[in-house]
Structure 1
Amino acid sequence: MKQLARRYCWWPGIDKNIEQLAASCTSCQSLAPNPAKQFSRPCWGKSWLVCVDAFSKYPYVVEMKGTSTAATISALDAIFTIEGFPETIVTDNGPQFTSEKFDGFCRKYGIHITSAPYHPASNGLAKRFVRTSRQQSKKGSMMAFV
């Protein structure tokens, strides 16, 4: 919003004024993203595996029956059957991704594993897709009441 305003006009303190305006706007606050937090609970009552191709930005979403290493490998196998095996995979540090079984699966297919502990921004593409999906779901369900 600040960048857009600066295209058309400028005055001393424009950034602060725009921030104050946004902070006082109830619509802006209700649609603003919540602070980042770890979501360990399932989304919509189900568990999902989200994979986003870093090149095409194409998302793959697989409903999971469980979050075990075996279930995760099975879901990834289904995706890789369609697209082929990647050179690198970026994961969070969930127990299914840090297990020896998952490490063996990746070594078997020559996949390099990358993850940064306590730094969810390094997996930002998938995190952003999840956030956008949740926002769209909320907006869709809210539209029924409007």
Structure 2
Amino acid sequence: TSDFSQSPKDLLSSVNYLQHINENCPSRLNWKKIRSETSKDPLLAKVYSHIHSGVWPHGISREDSLFPFWRRKEQLTIEHGCLMWGYRVIIPVKLQQGISNILHSTHLGITKMKGLVRSSFWWPNLDKTIEDLTKNCEICYKFRSEPPRSILNPWPWPSKPWTRLHIDHFSFNQKYFFVAMDSCSKWIECFQVPSPSVDGVIEKLTECFSRFGLPRSITSDGAPCFQSSEFTKFFNRPRNKSSYWSTVSSSNKWRG
């Protein structure tokens, strides 16, 4: 039985996909086994009935076990006795652990395994099944990919205050602040600003310069407001040209 809202091309793709599973997956994954277990699964039997009749409840609670299927009801079909969500085969509870173990045997890690399983199969809480399986696997943990760490390059210590200034924005309680820190003395100038815009930065830096003079250098993390043409023009003004400008990575901007 098929959902006749599908186009002939989509319908043919679903049938061909089941044949692909039958020919290329291990025997315990073939579609005949999936069909057999689908008919024995109480929840999937109910889903099968709703798809076959075309009649679904008008509203379902999120806590209802039928909800994950109900919200996808427009994309659910029946092909050769197997339930399909689009081109993905819906796996009965009894086969979920076995399929997870087979696909996990290559120890791809959480992200790659999710991609692999999602490309072929689906069941409620699929992501959690994969996460639990890989998180408890010593091999996956040992060979997990870690994000590259930034190399910390401490700045040389300034010989006197107001030589190098580090600037940035931060938010707190839905308010924005601009902060400037002297690298030598660790003196902090902090200002509340309407937004992390270049206008606010220029205004507050001008105030700092009027009280402490011009620093020899200023650094930031290279946020958009610090790379704008207005900011460049500000430092190209004759009275500001004694300062030079640089950007650094966010992991290093407050070191030194």
Alignment TM-score, normalising by the size of structure 1: 0.53
Whether 1:75 and 2:185 are equivalent positions in the alignment is no
1:16-56 alpha-carbon deviations (Å, 9 max, x no partner): xxxxxxxxxxxxxxxxxxxxxxxx97212210011100121
Matched to 1:72, the amino acid is V
- What percent identity do the matched residue pairs reach? 21
Deviation at 1:125, TM superposition (A): 4.4
Residues 1:105 and 1:41: Cα distance change in structure 2 (over 3 Å): closer
Alignment of structure 1 residues 35-50 onto 2, 5 Å: 42-50=171-179
Distance 1:50 1:125, change over 3 A: farther
Shift >2 Å, 4+ stretches: none
2-structure distance, mates of 1:81, 1:46: 25
CA distance in 2, matches of 1:51, 1:57: 10
What is the CA-CA distance between 1:105 and the residue it aligns to? 0.8
Q: Which amino acid aligns with 1:43?
A: F
Aligned to 1:95: 224
- The equivalent of 1:114 in structure 2 is 246
Q: Higher helix proportion, which one?
A: 1
TM-score (norm 2): 0.31
1:124 aligns with 2:241: no
Does residue 63 in structure 1 map to residue 195 in structure 2?
Answer: no
- Distance in 1, matches of 2:233 and 2:253, equals 22
Q: Which amino acid aligns with 2:183?
A: A
Higher strand share: 2
CA distance in 1, matches of 2:193, 2:211: 18
Aligned partner of residue 63 in structure 1, secondary structure: strand
Distance in 2 between residues matched to 1:70 and 1:52, nearest whole Å? 19
Which residue of the partner structure matches residue 137 of structure 1? none
Deviations 1:61-92 (A, max 9, x none): 01111222112100111111111111100111
Q: 2 CA distance for matches of 1:41 and 1:104?
A: 24
SS at match of 2:245: strand
Q: Distance in 1 between matches of 2:211 and 2:170?
A: 28
Gaps of 5+ in 2: 1-168
Q: Partner of 2:177: helix, strand, or coil?
A: strand
Distance in 1 between residues matched to 2:216 and 2:236, nearest whole Å: 11
Q: Where do 1:16-55 residues align within 5 Å?
A: 42-55=171-184
- Aligned CA distance change for structure 1 residues 107 and 122 (closer, same or farther; 3 Å): farther
- In structure 1, the gaps of 5 or more residues are 1-39, 127-146
Aligned residues: 85
Cα distance between partner residues in 2 of 1:86 and 1:113: 10
The separation in 1 between residues aligned to 2:214 and 2:170, in whole angstroms, is 29
Query: Higher RCO, 1 or 2 (CA under 8 Å, sep at least 6)?
Result: 1
Q: Which has the larger radius of gyration?
A: 2
Give distance in 1, aligned partners of 2:244 and 2:170: 28
